Amino acid sequence: MVRMPPTVPTRIAKTNLEYFAASAAARELDDDSRVWTVVEWSWTPGPPMTIVLRSDRGETTDFIVDASGTWRMRREPIEPKIKHPDEPGAL
């Protein structure tokens, strides 16, 4: 599931998010069991345009569209820096 921002301050930013929402990239995340929230997006007319999403598990993924309309995805796992007191290695 993809959660879009509830309000978008500019018309261009809204157009960029609508463009992403209509893409195969967004449909792929909609089919995922995780909840993905848009946390950053391009505010200037694109492409190139970048949309950054974070999952409910803390994972992030970037979608970047180039001038040809091709979307590329880059995933960067976020490693937790804080451990639960019961976890091995916790202080």
Q: Assess if residue 52 is contained within a domain.
A: yes
Q: Assess if residue 9 is contained within a domain.
A: yes
Q: Assess if residue 19 is contained within a domain.
A: yes
Q: What is the pTM of this model?
A: 0.75
CA 81: distance to chain centroid?
A: 21
| Strand intervals (E) in the chain | 2-3, 36-41, 49-55, 60-65, 71-76
Residue span of the structural domain in which 7 resides: 2-76
**Which of 79, 85, 72 minimizes the C-alpha distance to 57?**
79
Q: Assess if residue 21 is contained within a domain.
A: yes
Q: Assess if residue 51 is contained within a domain.
A: yes
Q: Assess if residue 81 is contained within a domain.
A: no
Q: Assess if residue 91 is contained within a domain.
A: no
Number of domains in the chain: 1
Query: HSE-up of 25 (CA within 13 Å, CB side)?
Result: 22
> What residue has token string 């994972």?
59
Examine the pLDDT at 78 and tell me if it is beyond 80.
no
| pLDDT tens figures, 27-47 | 989 998 999 999 999 898 878
